[in-house]
Structure 1
C-alpha cells in the first residue's frame, strides 16, 4: 500500500516524519558545512556565516531528501505498525519518484526561506552598524562645532574680565574647565549619565551668565532617581545653546531658560523651555544649531521610539519649548 492509499491519519504521520527527517539533515549539514568553511577560511569566510553557499548545499539537499525520505518512511512505518524492509519504498519506481519530487521541491523552498531570512538578519545588523557609525560621526561633528563657538566667546569675555574683575574671571575659568572636560568625555563614549548631561548644561549656563549677566536666568530640574539613566552625549547642549542664541540674546530683556527631566512610564521626557522671542523669529533659512543632528542621532539610536519636537508654549510667557522623548532601557 502506498502513502497515497493510506488513511488520512497515517498519511499525516508519514508526511511529518519525512519532513522532519529531511529538514533535520538539511539544517545539520548547513551548520556543519558552514563551520567547516569558517575553520578553513578564517576571516575570509562570508559574512552570513551560517550559509556555506549553494555549491555545497545543492548536493547536500539531494542527499538529505533521499536519506530523509527513507528514514522518515521507516519511522512512519514503525508508528503506523507497518512491517517491511527499510528500502522497500524504492521497489515501486513510479511511487518513489512521485513522492521524491515534491519532497525535494519542498526542501529547496524551506532552505531558501532560512537562507533569505539569514541574509536579511545580516543586512539588518550591517544597517544598524552603519547608522551607529553615522551617529558617532555626527557627534564628533557636533563637538567640533560647539567647542570653537564656546571658546571664542568665552575667551573674549575672559580677556575683559581679567582686568576688570579677576574673581569673576577665575570662576569663569573653572566653569570653562568643567565644560571642556565634559565635552572631551562625551566624545569618547556612546552614552553617559543624565546627571553628567545636566552638569555640562550647568557649566554652560554659568559661562553664559558671566557674559549676559542678569539678562539670563537659568533653572535645572533633575529628579534624583533619573540622574543615573543613560542618554546620548550632547543631547541637550545644542538645544540650550539654540534657546540662548535664537531666543534670549535677541531679546533686550533676556529671559528665563528652564531645563527639566521627567519620567512618563518607560519614556524619558527632557524639556528645554525659554521665554525669548519665540519660534516666529527664527532665522530666515530655518537653520537652528544642532537640531537636525539631534534628530538624526535619535533616529539612528532609537528609531521611531524617540523624537524631538519644537513648539510654541501657550502659557502666555512666550518663547519656545523643545521636547525630547527617548525610551528608558
Structure 2
C-alpha cells in the first residue's frame, strides 16, 4: 500500500525520533560552546530535520513502489536503491537549505560560509542526507528481502505439503478407479484376440501408475515426459471409446524440453474425456496444443462438448491446478477454462517459458 501500514509509521517515527534526540543531545550536552539562542535554533532545526526526513523517505518509498523496484532482480534493486537514495539526498539537502533560510534557522558562523559558496553547502547537505537515507534504504531493502525469502520458503513448504496431499489422492482423482477398471477390462478382452496389444496396454498402464506414484519426486518435468504419459493414457482410453475418441496434437518443437508441473496437463486431458467426450453420443475430438508466446508457455486442451456451470469452479482437480500454479509461480502463471466456441471447451495453462 502507498499510504503504509501501522507498523511502517511506527518505525518511521521511532527512527527519525532517535535522530532528533541525537541532535538535541549534541546541541545541549556535547557542544557547550553554543549560546542559548543557538541551541534553540539547533533544536528547531532538529525537529524540522526529523519531519523532513519522514516526508522524504515516504516519498522515496512511494517511488520505489511505483517503479516496482522490489519485483526486479537483486542486482538491479541495489543499483536503483542507490540511485534513488542519491537523488532524494540532493532534493532533501536543497529543500533543507531554503526552508531553514526562509525561517531564519542559521547560526552566524554558517551564514558567513554561505556567502562564500552556496554550491558547497548544498553538496554538504546532500552528503549528510545521503548518510541518513542510505541507512533507511538498507533497512527497507533488507526487510523486504528477508520477507520475500520467508514467503518463498513458506510457499515451498506449502507446495511440498500440497504435492503430498496430491499423491495421497492420485488413485482416486488423477487415475481414478473407473479408469483402471475399464483399462483392465479392455486388456482382458484383448489377451486372446490381440496378445501384442494387450502387452502394450499393460506397459502403458504401468507407466501411468508409476508417474502418478512418483509425482512428488520433482516439482517439474519436461513437457516431452508429460506428453508420453498422456499418450499412454489416451491409448488406453481409446480401447474403451474406440472410434468415438479422436486425438490431435499441435506441439511446438520449441516447447518439448520446457518444464511443466507433473500430471497437470494429463489431468486436463482426463477432465476433457470425463466431462466432454464421455457425454457425447458420437464421441468427439481432444486437441492438445503447446506454443511459446513471448516469455510464456501456453498449453491448452480442447475437447468436443459444452461447459457446465459447475465445471468453472471445478472439483478437487481444478482447485488443485489453481493452487499448485499459485504456489509454484505466483502471479506469473494462469489457468482458464471456457467455451471457446459452440460445441468446444478449452482449458489453458499459461506458464513462464523459462524458470
Describe the superposition over 1:226-252 as per-residue Cα deviations: whole angstroms up to 9, x where unpaired.
101112222212211111111111222
The TM-score, its normalising length taken from structure 1, stands at 0.64
**Which residue matches 1:325?**
350
Q: Take 2:263 and 2:112, find their aligned partners in 1: how far apart are those partners?
A: 72
Residue 210 (structure 1) aligned to one of 239, 243, 249? 239
Residue 231 (structure 1) aligned to one of 260, 266, 270? 260
Matched, 1:256 2:285: yes
- Structure 1 17/165 Cα, relative in aligned 2: closer, same or farther at 3 Å? closer
Q: Determine if contact 1:142/1:290 at 8 Å carries over to the other structure.
A: no
Q: Take 2:155 and 2:317, find their aligned partners in 1: how far apart are those partners?
A: 18
Q: Take 1:198 and 1:163, find their aligned partners in 2: how far apart are those partners?
A: 26
Describe the superposition over 1:121-180 as per-residue Cα deviations: whole angstroms up to 9, x where unpaired.
211111122223223332333333233452623442355345432124322211012212
Q: How does 1:13-28 map to 2 (within 5 A)?
A: 13-18=123-128, 23=131
> Alpha-carbon deviation of 1:185?
4.4
**Which residue matches 1:310?**
337
Q: Which has the higher contact order (CA 8 A, sep 6+)?
A: 1
- Structure 1 5/199 Cα, relative in aligned 2: closer, same or farther at 3 Å? farther
Q: C-alpha root-mean-square deviation of aligned residues, in Å?
A: 2.6
**Which residue matches 2:121?**
11
**Which residue matches 2:144?**
120
- Structure 1 313/154 Cα, relative in aligned 2: closer, same or farther at 3 Å? closer
- Structure 1 141/114 Cα, relative in aligned 2: closer, same or farther at 3 Å? same
> Alpha-carbon deviation of 1:187?
2.0
Q: Take 1:144 and 1:155, find their aligned partners in 2: how far apart are those partners?
A: 17
Q: Take 2:136 and 2:309, find their aligned partners in 1: how far apart are those partners?
A: 58
Structure 1 gap segments, 5+ residues each = 24-106
Residue 152 (structure 1) aligned to one of 168, 177, 190? 177
Q: Take 2:324 and 2:188, find their aligned partners in 1: how far apart are those partners?
A: 42
- Structure 1 162/190 Cα, relative in aligned 2: closer, same or farther at 3 Å? closer
The TM-score, its normalising length taken from structure 2, stands at 0.60
> Alpha-carbon deviation of 1:300?
2.4
Question: Aligned to 1:212, what secondary structure does the other structure show?
Answer: helix
Structure 2 gap segments, 5+ residues each = 1-107
Question: Aligned to 2:276, what secondary structure does the other structure show?
Answer: helix
- Structure 1 176/265 Cα, relative in aligned 2: closer, same or farther at 3 Å? same
Describe the superposition over 1:202-256 as per-residue Cα deviations: whole angstroms up to 9, x where unpaired.
1111122223222222222222221011122222122111111111112222211
**Which residue matches 2:271?**
242
- Structure 1 128/110 Cα, relative in aligned 2: closer, same or farther at 3 Å? same
Q: Take 2:282 and 2:201, find their aligned partners in 1: how far apart are those partners?
A: 23
Question: Aligned to 2:335, what secondary structure does the other structure show?
Answer: strand
Q: Take 2:260 and 2:337, find their aligned partners in 1: how far apart are those partners?
A: 19
Q: How does 1:267-282 map to 2 (within 5 A)?
A: 267-276=296-305, 278-280=306-308, 282=310
> Alpha-carbon deviation of 1:15?
2.9
Matched, 1:139 2:166: no
- Structure 1 217/146 Cα, relative in aligned 2: closer, same or farther at 3 Å? farther
Describe the superposition over 1:272-329 as per-residue Cα deviations: whole angstroms up to 9, x where unpaired.
00002x113746x953441122122222222222211111122x4x131011111212
Question: Aligned to 2:291, what secondary structure does the other structure show?
Answer: strand
Describe the superposition over 1:13-37 as per-residue Cα deviations: whole angstroms up to 9, x where unpaired.
43345556xx3xxxxxxxxxxxxxx
